[in-house]
């Protein structure tokens, strides 16, 4: 969907148009049959989520599409360069960097990077298919399904500024971020007629998140930012409290008296629903953002979500049977932790319809569906 702003008269509209061209120098000013109008030249997708919530997986469903320029967690650089700031203070630079990326202007990375020379200086660059194929890297053609490890070996020594030229060749820019814990921060972007933003808010059962955190290292610095306890032992329950509260805040903002510019720009999905039908969800999302599914991509998505080989790391840091992964916490998470977490994240769990388990037996009983029917299929 293209948003279109039509101007009634020639004089003012030309001035307005030229002013906007000057201001957003990389955006086009098009002349259409109905008169002059300003249109966003791309579609911008934000996968808005939290740590260990299946977002690498969702990102990958978009990443392999040849029309998509995808960056995974680019705002990592903002947080990493200011480890002692509170996340709320970092929201503005995070948002501004996001705006630049959506406009294919990569110069805003500079203040947040120690080195700004090659594409390899970018966090998780080789998880981005667009940086592994033409025109960025000749190792792959654009429509190839790309193996991140081969990319790591063959691409990389590409000047950082080519990120911009590569970005400009794509119709869709997709960014995944766990560093926006509020929706209102994004209003200036959502309200901007030169951007065409589509948000996918991905929510996961906090008990699954907690288990995934226990099996994953490397969140200390982010946890320190969330709880403002840098370089001290982090209380994981405090982190979970902030994360759960953020999901509630974002979702409530979108449903309780939302501003008109949010219309058709926000969908929420539960990770547990997604894994039951990834191909169905990705088809819905593709139509939401104006893309088409190809048989090759559909086959790829089916394969990575039904992997029999959990150690296959060619496409994702972790793959395997995603339905089983979503339920691992039921066997592996200590019940007393489950009880404590259910208390801390009660509001989130009620809002999204996650069933509370009252005993170890209930926790382990797979006949009990963990997502209550109440909230199903409602995005
Ligand atoms: C890209 O496609 C062209 C034409 O199909 C082919 O000749 C070339 O070998 C391909 N390059 C790579 C890196 O696969
Ligand atoms: C998916 O897996 C099947 C069976 O292993 C394979 O034939 C097919 O090429 C795979 N699809 C993609 C897109 O990799
Ligand atoms: C579960 O957690 C409690 C409290 O954190 C601890 O005392 C107990 O030993 C744990 N049980 C297992 C099986 O790890
Ligand atoms: C598991 O849950 C189902 C559905 O509520 C119930 O019928 C069954 O008795 C439970 N099994 C155990 C072992 O508690």
The dihedral of CA 280, 286, 289, 290: what is its sign? Answer: negative
pLDDT at 171 over 90: yes
Whole-number Å distance between alpha carbons of 93 and 75: 9
The percentage of the chain sitting over the pLDDT mark of 70, rounded to a whole number, equals 84
Which ligand ends up closest to the CA of 363? 4
Averaged over 72-84, what is the pLDDT? 93
pLDDT at 54 over 90: no
Say what the pLDDT of residue 316 is: 53
Ligand 3 neighbourhood includes 334 CB (under 6 angstroms): yes
Say what the pLDDT of residue 314 is: 59
Whole-number Å distance between alpha carbons of 224 and 227: 5
Ligand 3 neighbourhood includes 33 CB (under 6 angstroms): no
Which ligand ends up closest to the CA of 134? 1
Separation of 136 CA from ligand 4 center, angstroms? 55
Residue closest by Cα to atom 14 of ligand 2: 300
pLDDT at 7 over 70: no
Contact residues of ligand 4, CB 6 A cut-off: 361, 365, 367-368
Strand partners, 43: 172
Check: CB of residue 40 under 8 Å from CB of residue 144. no
| 181 or 219, which is more confident | 181
Span 287-299, pLDDT tens digits: 999 998 888 888 8
| 141 or 324, which is more confident | 141
pLDDT at 147 over 60: yes
Beta carbons within 10 angstroms of residue 153's beta carbon = 10
Say what the pLDDT of residue 174 is: 97
Check: CB of residue 125 under 8 Å from CB of residue 146. no
pLDDT band at 57 (very low <50, low <70, confident <90, very high): confident
| 80 or 278, which is more confident | 80
Say what the pLDDT of residue 178 is: 93
pLDDT at 16 over 80: no
Separation of 336 CA from ligand 3 center, angstroms? 7
Strand partners, 30: 37
Contact residues of ligand 1, CB 6 A cut-off: 139-141
Is residue 192 assigned to a domain?
yes
Which residue segment(s) compose the domain that 55 sits in?
43-378
| Mean pLDDT taken over the chain | 85
pLDDT at 313 over 80: no
Contact residues of ligand 2, CB 6 A cut-off: 145, 296, 299-300, 303
Q: Please state whether beta strands 35-38 and 197-203 pair in parallel, antiparallel, or not at all (unpaired).
A: unpaired
Residue closest by Cα to atom 7 of ligand 4: 367
| 314 or 7, which is more confident | 314
Beta carbons within 10 angstroms of residue 101's beta carbon = 22
Closest CA to 93 of 111, 113, 106: 111
Residue closest by Cα to atom 11 of ligand 4: 365
Residue closest by Cα to atom 8 of ligand 2: 299
Separation of 357 CA from ligand 4 center, angstroms? 12
Check: CB of residue 70 under 8 Å from CB of residue 220. no
Looking up residue 169, the CATH number of its domain turns out to be 3.40.50.300
What pTM does this model have? Answer: 0.86
Separation of 376 CA from ligand 4 center, angstroms? 22
Separation of 295 CA from ligand 2 center, angstroms? 11
Ligand 3 neighbourhood includes 335 CB (under 6 angstroms): no
Strand partners, 32: 35
Is residue 350 assigned to a domain?
yes
Check: CB of residue 170 under 8 Å from CB of residue 62. no
pLDDT at 260 over 90: yes
User: C-alpha distances in angstroms, 369 versus 295, 301, 363?
Assistant: 32, 25, 10
Separation of 364 CA from ligand 4 center, angstroms? 10
Instruction: Give me the half-sphere count of Cα atoms (radius 13 Å) on the Cβ side of residue 134.
Output: 6
User: C-alpha distances in angstroms, 88 versus 22, 43, 172, 242?
Assistant: 31, 27, 28, 12
The dihedral of CA 156, 160, 164, 165: what is its sign? Answer: negative
Pocket test for ligand 4, best of 359, 364, 368 (most atoms within 8 A of CB): 368
Separation of 80 CA from ligand 2 center, angstroms? 38
Say what the pLDDT of residue 335 is: 97
| 364 or 40, which is more confident | 364
Separation of 141 CA from ligand 1 center, angstroms? 6
Span 266-282, pLDDT tens digits: 999 999 998 888 888 98
Q: What stretch of H or E contains 44?
A: strand 43-48
Is residue 15 assigned to a domain?
no
Say what the pLDDT of residue 358 is: 97
Is residue 167 assigned to a domain?
yes
Say what the pLDDT of residue 37 is: 53
Whole-number Å distance between alpha carbons of 253 and 152: 40
Tokens of 228: 């403002």
Closest CA to 288 of 62, 72, 69, 102: 62
Whole-number Å distance between alpha carbons of 317 and 126: 11
User: C-alpha distances in angstroms, 65 versus 90, 130, 249, 309?
Assistant: 31, 9, 31, 23
Is residue 118 assigned to a domain?
yes
Is residue 6 assigned to a domain?
no
Whole-number Å distance between alpha carbons of 90 and 258: 24
Number of domains in the chain: 1
User: C-alpha distances in angstroms, 285 versus 136, 296, 336, 379?
Assistant: 26, 17, 37, 11
Whole-number Å distance between alpha carbons of 26 and 132: 24
Which ligand ends up closest to the CA of 365? 4
Pocket test for ligand 4, best of 365, 370, 373 (most atoms within 8 A of CB): 365
Tokens of 296: 């090759």
Separation of 138 CA from ligand 1 center, angstroms? 9
Separation of 367 CA from ligand 4 center, angstroms? 6
Say what the pLDDT of residue 39 is: 67
Whole-number Å distance between alpha carbons of 312 and 289: 29
| 2 or 219, which is more confident | 219
Whole-number Å distance between alpha carbons of 237 and 226: 11
Question: Cis omega before residue 194 (within 30°)?
Answer: no
Say what the pLDDT of residue 118 is: 92
Q: In what order do the strands lie in the sheet with 29-32?
A: 5-6, 35-38, 29-32
Residue closest by Cα to atom 8 of ligand 4: 367
Separation of 149 CA from ligand 2 center, angstroms? 18
Say what the pLDDT of residue 100 is: 96
Is residue 138 assigned to a domain?
yes
Closest CA to 87 of 248, 250, 243: 243
pLDDT at 40 over 80: no
Span 87-115, pLDDT tens digits: 999 999 999 999 999 999 999 999 999 99
Span 222-254, pLDDT tens digits: 888 888 887 778 889 999 999 999 999 999 999
Say what the pLDDT of residue 356 is: 96
Is residue 250 assigned to a domain?
yes
């Amino acid at each position: 969907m293209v948003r279109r702003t039509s101007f009634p008269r020639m004089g003012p509209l030309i001035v307005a148009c030229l002013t906007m061209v000057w201001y957003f120098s990389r955006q086009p000013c098009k002349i259409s049959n109905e008169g002059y109008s300003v249109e966003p030249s791309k579609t911008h997708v934000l996968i808005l989520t939290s740590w260990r919530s299946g977002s690498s997986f969702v990102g990958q469903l978009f990443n392999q599409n040849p029309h998509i320029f995808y960056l995974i967690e680019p705002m990592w650089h903002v947080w990493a360069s200011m480890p002692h700031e509170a996340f709320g203070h970092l929201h503005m630079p995070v948002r501004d960097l996001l705006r630049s990326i959506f406009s294919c202007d990569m110069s805003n990375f500079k203040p947040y990077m120690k080195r700004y020379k090659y594409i390899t200086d970018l966090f998780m660059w080789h998880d981005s298919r667009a940086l592994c194929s033409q025109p960025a890297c000749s190792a792959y053609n654009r429509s190839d399904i790309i193996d991140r490890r081969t990319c790591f070996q063959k691409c990389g020594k590409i000047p950082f500024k080519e990120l911009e030229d590569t970005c400009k060749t794509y119709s869709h820019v997709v960014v995944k971020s766990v560093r926006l814990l509020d929706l209102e921060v994004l209003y200036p972007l959502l309200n901007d007629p030169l951007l065409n933003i589509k948000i996918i808010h991905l929510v996961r059962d906090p008990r699954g998140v907690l288990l995934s955190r226990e099996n994953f290292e490397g969140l200390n610095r982010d946890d320190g930012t969330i709880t403002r306890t840098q370089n001290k032992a982090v209380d994981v329950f405090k982190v979970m409290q902030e994360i759960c509260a953020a999901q509630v805040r974002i979702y409530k903002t979108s449903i309780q008296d939302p501003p008109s510019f949010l219309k058709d720009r926000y969908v929420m999905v539960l990770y547990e629903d997604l894994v039951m039908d990834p191909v169905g969800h990705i088809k819905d999302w593709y139509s939401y953002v104006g893309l088409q599914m190809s048989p090759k991509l559909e086959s790829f998505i089916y394969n990575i979500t039904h992997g029999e080989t959990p150690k296959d790391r060619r496409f994702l840091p972790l793959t395997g049977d995603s339905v089983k992964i979503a339920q691992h916490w039921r066997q592996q998470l200590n019940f007393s932790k489950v009880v404590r977490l259910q208390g801390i994240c009660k509001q989130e769990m009620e809002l999204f319809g996650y069933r509370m388990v009252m005993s170890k037996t209930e926790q382990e009983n797979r006949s009990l569906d963990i997502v209550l029917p109440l909230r199903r299929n409602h995005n």
